[in-house]
Homo-oligomer: A and B are copies of this chain.
């Protein structure tokens, strides 16, 4: 699942056209088209501000969208900065070990 795919899903499910949504988030509709079709050359993704507005307008999960855009959401960022000792170690864990940690949380 890419950011573009998810945005298109959300937009369609809300019955919005590109032009309609674009005007609500104050960008050109052609730009949204490119995002949905990932026609933006490598690294030229939408800004966090735009993703925020899209999340609001589409009533979607902002963190999910940010992560799909390969950006670290602010709440997670703050935690990483606050506890670098913890997150440096956690980031080194394999998927398997990470799964075990998650399981132990329940």
Contact = CB atoms under 8 A, between A and B. Distances in A.
A72 interface: yes
A17 to B, nearest CB: 30
Nearest to A85: B102
A83 interface: yes
A42 to B, nearest CB: 15
Contacts of A48: none
A91 B76 contact: yes
A87 B76 contact: yes
22 contacts: A63-B84, A64-B84, A67-B84, A70-B77, A72-B77, A72-B81, A73-B88, A75-B92, A76-B87, A79-B91, A79-B92, A80-B80, A86-B90, A86-B98, A86-B99, A86-B101, A89-B102, A89-B105, A90-B90, A93-B105, A101-B104, A104-B104
